[in-house]
Amino acid sequence: MSSRTKWFLIIAALFISAIVGFYLSKSVSAVNHSVRQFDEAYFTSLPQKEGDTINQCEIPGYIDKIRKKAFLGAQIKMASSDSVGLMINMRDSTIALMIKGVSVKSMKIRASIISPFFFRANQEAVYSALSSPLKVTDMAATFHKDPVKVKIAPKDTVEAYATPEEQPDTSDFEAVYFTLNTDKNFRLFFEQSEDTIGSDRRKKFFFNLNDRLTSAKKEADDIIHLRTPEYTPFIKIWVPKSDAKVIYYAIPREGLIVLTL
């Protein structure tokens, strides 16, 4: 290898290292930038009181009270909807499908990851955002969302016995991974807690890869133009495959979600 080629490789390696380092630094700063923007937007919306320097979040029990108030307020608002709603209680590790304020199915969260954004941001601002339901704006999954099936009740017992009973779908061959984007820029990832067969792992890999490539494309454009990449706060939830499938089938495409942390 000639000395000229060596110098070219060294310069190329340094250039690539600089780009990677810049990308990583910008990605890390994106969280702090998002938190700062979120907090500023909240405090700007509040009526300004001259001389008010009290940080209410430091008052013992204050955060717990506004959390409970936000949670109850969001449930009341969601109960006014005629559609199925999703209630996610990260503190109790529970999920419930709700209709008119009544739980029709509850599930247990097996594991979860919560974005650091929710802990770094001002807690009063966070629970102000969660005081009303999140609205689903977009969803993507590794399987198709089944259409609603309309069944006509038989006229009498003769017709009932004459009609063959439809067997429920007990197949468990689909990998269940999906995302829900919301109007408040909070993103929810749902994954099956089982990881038993190779096809499921492959589905998960390509589903996550496609999502990351889409995000990386947006981030690269921001970095090329020397902008801090936009950060989307997220929550990742693992539940049993059967429960995850029920959630995705039940939640409307513009459904409401009540979330508490």
Question: What is the domain extent for residue 194?
Answer: 3-46+54-260
Confidence of residue 57 (pLDDT cuts 50, 70, 90): confident
pLDDT above 90 for 178: yes
Q: Which of 35-49, 64-78, 153-167, 186-200 has the highest mean pLDDT?
A: 64-78
User: Could you tell me the pTM of the whole model?
Assistant: 0.80
Q: What is the pLDDT of residue 31?
A: 87
pLDDT of res. 79: 95
Say how many domains are in the chain.
1
Residue 130 pLDDT class (50, 70, 90 cuts): very high
Which two three-digit tokens encode residue 31? Answer: 């969280």
pLDDT of 225 over the 80 cut: no
**Does residue 152 have a pLDDT over 80?**
no
Residue with tokens 């979120």: 38
pLDDT(45) > 80: yes
Identify which has the larger pLDDT, 147 or 145.
Answer: 145
pLDDT of residue 49: 64
Region 71-93: what's the mean pLDDT? 96
> Could you give phi then psi for residue 147, rounded to 5 degrees?
-70, 160
Indicate the angle between helix axes 3-45 and 198-224, nearest 10 degrees.
90
Spatial CB neighbours of 146, under 8 Å, sequence gap ≥ 6: 249
